[in-house]
Amino acid sequence: MLKQFTLLALLLSSAVSQGQTLTTNTGTPVGDNQNSKTAGNNGPVLLEDIHLIEKLAAFDRERIPERVVHARGAGAYGEFVAASDFSDVTKADFLSKAGKTTPVFVRFSTVVHQNGSPESYRDPRGFAVKFYTEQGNYDLVGNNLPVFFIRDAIKFPDMVHAFKPSPVTNGASDPNRVFDFFANVPEATHMLTWLFSDYGIPANYREMNGSGVHAFKWVNDKGEVTYVKYTWRSKQGERNLSQAEADKIQSTQTEHATLDLRNAIDAGNFPKWDLYVQMLKKEDFEKLDFNPVDVTKIWPEAVAKPVFVGTMTLNGNPENFFQEVEQSAFSPGTLVPGIEPSEDKLLQGRLFSYFDTQRHRLGGNFQQLPVNAPKTPVTTYNQNGYMSLRKQTGDVNYQPSESKPSVKDDAKFKYSHSPLSNVETTQAKISKPNDYAQAGELYRSFSKKDKDALIYNLSGALKQVKNKVVVAKMIGHFYQADREYGIRLAKELKMTREELENLISH
């Protein structure tokens, strides 16, 4: 028996010696990773145990600030292949030739809820794509739904606060707070109709469409501007969950969508999406009964026909979730020549907010992290700060300069020209808000089954709202979108017309 034990010990010792040697962060071999250095066998631990101190200090700092929104997410690598040459409308190089392939990293996410929350909650889904183009990175940061709740970034913190837990109870998202906010935001009627239909709970990330949501500008070499909206169409088909189906999933697992994506890629079942754009010229804007850069509106296909742009395939899983998914950083301000932001007031605020939150979460040099770094060389005099990893050489760190070789800007990459005339600063609602028309059109486009699910989901949430004035206002919004829509909700909530009129008037 003793011989057998000795042999086993020798085998284990040999296995350890043949493996990689554990090191500190500086590469120094570690002699003992199981026992701290002490003063005597039973004495106090010594501060000079550098490995112990480093190990604890690293552990203490493993968590970084959670994203305020889009905290719960999954990611994957892949490629995008352009379908045609679009250089007549944009100088974006990755769209300049049919068949041109661009590597991508994609992050899918829920929006409101915290990291680790169930992926079966009713919630929009983030759909963010980072294109590693030859002209630098381009981030197409959108959602699964084609519109949004609000049209002005000044409302965004308030909207998120309404969705988040109460600062008093820290309880889960409360319909009393949510609808107290939206009762006074009629522009949200369209998005709420999407959200409380079964589209509000995608079955998983693979069987989910995506949207750039905002209008953007494509600019060609002549400086000509075309406004565009993006749509991703899943080649796996689009599938959503009823509330009952979502509840069943939630009872057994919280990460079904993350695992579904990872397992499919591991099995070689690579998910694909086709990218389409709709195009409008500025001179066509006045022909429409809504503002085309209003993020609460879609562009009907009769107005702007979708044009096939290319196909994205996801074929690689991250090797380390934290480094590649949690530290991935997206911003609608990460643009390439030929793509610019529109005048959309929500988008304009996001241009600041997304960069700002990434600098808070990850530090000022977050774009140097491997998952965020461009594949093309970087030439910049931005320097130093926390975690500065980019190699910097030479004495000249300023421009202009007569040094050789010189670094200069290039006029062909200037922003497009946007003429303004007879303009004064103002704070006002946009022209042609038309808050209800598209919500009504969406409701009428639903099948009977989808309408029934919408009324069931929405009335279920409104039944939890204690303030009946808020309930009456919400019914009023949906009634203005479509008469049947409002009447069905009122009936389900057992509220008479006289009661509604009395509540709203007070």
The residues carrying an active-site annotation are 70, 143
Give dist(CA 133, CA 414) in Å, integer.
18
State whether the Cα torsion 290-296-300-305 is positive or negative: positive
446, two tokens: 């639903």
**Beta-bridge partner residues of 131:** 104, 138
Q: Say if CB 229 and CB 275 are below 8 A apart.
A: no
Q: Which of 226, 64, 49, 205 is nearest to 129 (CA)?
A: 205
**What is the DSSP track for 9-72?**
HHHHHHHHHHSPPPB-TTSPBPS-SSS--BSSTTSPBPTT-HHHHHHHHHHHT---PPPSSS-S
Distances in Å between the Cα of 378 and the Cα atoms of 134, 375, 382 are 11, 9, 10
CB-CB contact of 467 with 180 (8 Å): yes
Dihedrals phi, psi of 73, to nearest 5 degrees: -150, 170
Residues in the chain: 506
Task: Give the helix ranges, DSSP H, for 406-447.
Answer: 437-445
The rounded radius of gyration (Å) of the Cα atoms in the chain is 27
Q: What residue type is 190 in one-letter code?
A: H
Burial class (CB in 10 A: 0-12, 13-18, 19+), 281: exposed
What is the distance of C-alpha 256 from the center of its chain? Answer: 19
213 conformational bin, left if phi > 0, alpha if psi -120 to 50, beta if neither: left
